[in-house]
Amino acid sequence: MNPEGIHKPVLLKEVLYYLNLKQRNIIFDGTLGGAGHTVEIIKAIAPTGRVIGVDLHSQAISTAAIKLKEFIDRVILINDNFANVKCILNKLNIKEIDGMLLDLGLSSFLIEKSERGFSYLRNEKLDMRFGDEGRMDAYYVVNKYQEKKLEEIFREYGEERWSRSIARNIVNHRVDKDIKTTGELVDIIKGSIPHKYRYKKGGHPAKRIFQAIRVEVNREIDNLTKAIEDGFEVLKSGGRMLVISYHSIEDRIVKKKFLEYGGICTTSPYIPDYGCVNQKKARIITKKVVRPSDEEIKINPRSRGAKMRVLEKL
C-alpha cells in the first residue's frame, strides 16, 4: 500500500464550504498530510489562488509533491511546523492570508508507514516524532521521565483513569532494562489496568497513553495555541480559520481561543471576573462543532472523533 492510497481527508465538503473560497485566495494548509484537502482547495481557487502546504514530516512533503505536480505553479510546499506560520509567511514575503486550515488528526501515513511507533497495534521502536529532527522522542519520555511527571502527562493529555499505576509500573519495569518498543509498552499498560476495565469505553487500553506521549513529544498543545494566535494575526479581515480536532484537550483549546476572539469571557460562570474585557475581533461561524456524517464515518472510521470549529476575522 503506498502513502497516496491510504489518505482520506476528513470533513472535505464542509472544509471547502466553510473556507468560503474565492479566486486569488491565499490559503495556509498547516497540516498537509496526504494533501487530500489541499488538492480540492487548489481546484476551488483556480486559476489565480495559491496554497501554502506545511508538514513537519519530510516524507509527507515528498509524497504531496508527486500528488500535486499538476498544480505546482499554485502550491508552495514547506517542511516546517505550522506553529511557525508567521515566520513561514515572512520568508515568502506574504503579509496576509485569506484562510487557514489545521486538521490535527494523525495522518494515515504516520500510522501505517512511518514505523515511528504511533500505533499501539504494531511493534515498533518508541519514537512518535512528527518531524525528522528533535532530541526528545517517546523513548526518552518513557525511560527518563520521573514517575510523577509520567503520571501528570498521562492524566492531563490522555485523561487516563489508571495514570498512577501505569506510571509506577513503567518506572518499575525500566529498573531492569529500558523499554524500547511499543509492544513492550503496551504490555505494561495492559498489566496496569484491571482486566475487567481494559476494553471498556474508550477502546484499546493503550490508546490514551499513546496519545499522551505523542502530545508531550511533539509539544502539540503549545504549538496549537501558538498557531491559532499567530495565524489569527496574519489572517485578513473576512478571512476564516478552520480547526479540526480529535480529542477533548485540543477542542477545549480551540473553543477557548475562538471565544476570546469572539469577545466572550471564558472564565467559570460561577466565578465572576470583573476584569474580563475581551475585545471582539472575530465572528464565530459555527455555534456548534461540525461533525462527520454517519456516511463519512462508515467510509472512513478514523473520522469518527473529528470536531471542526470555524472563525471569521472582523
The strand pairing partners of 102, in sequence order, are 243
The domains found in the chain, sorted by start residue, are 3-109+220-313 (3.40.50.150), 132-217 (1.10.150.170)
DSSP string covering the chain: --GGGS---TTHHHHHHHTT--TT-EEEES--TTSHHHHHHHHHTTTT-EEEEEES-HHHHHHHHHHTGGGTTTEEEEES-GGGHHHHHHHTT---EEEEEEE-SPPHHHHHTS-SS--TTS--BS---SSS--S--HHHHHHHS-HHHHHHHHHHHH--TTHHHHHHHHHHHTTTS---BHHHHHHHHHHHS-GGGTTSTTSSTTHHHHHHHHHHHTTHHHHHHHHHHHHHHHEEEEEEEEEEE-SHHHHHHHHHHHHHHTT---S-TTS--TT--PPP-EEES-SS-B---HHHHHH-GGGTT-EEEEEEE-
Q: Give the mean pLDDT of 148-161.
A: 97
What does pTM read for this prediction?
0.90
- Under the banding of pLDDT at 50, 70 and 90, the label for residue 4 is very low
Mean pLDDT, all residues of the chain: 91
Would strands 307-313 and 97-103 be described as parallel, antiparallel, or unpaired? unpaired
Q: Give the integer Cα–Cα distance in Å for 278 and 264.
A: 6
Q: Looking at residue 175, what is its pLDDT? A: 96
User: Using one digit for the tens of pLDDT, what is the confidence trace for 111-150?
Assistant: 777 789 999 999 999 999 998 776 799 999 999 999 999 9
Residue 295: CB partners within 8 Å, gap ≥ 6? none
Residue 21 has pLDDT above 80, yes or no: yes
User: Using one digit for the tens of pLDDT, what is the confidence trace for 222-238?
Assistant: 999 999 999 999 999 99
User: Using one digit for the tens of pLDDT, what is the confidence trace for 41-71?
Assistant: 999 999 999 999 999 988 889 989 999 999 9
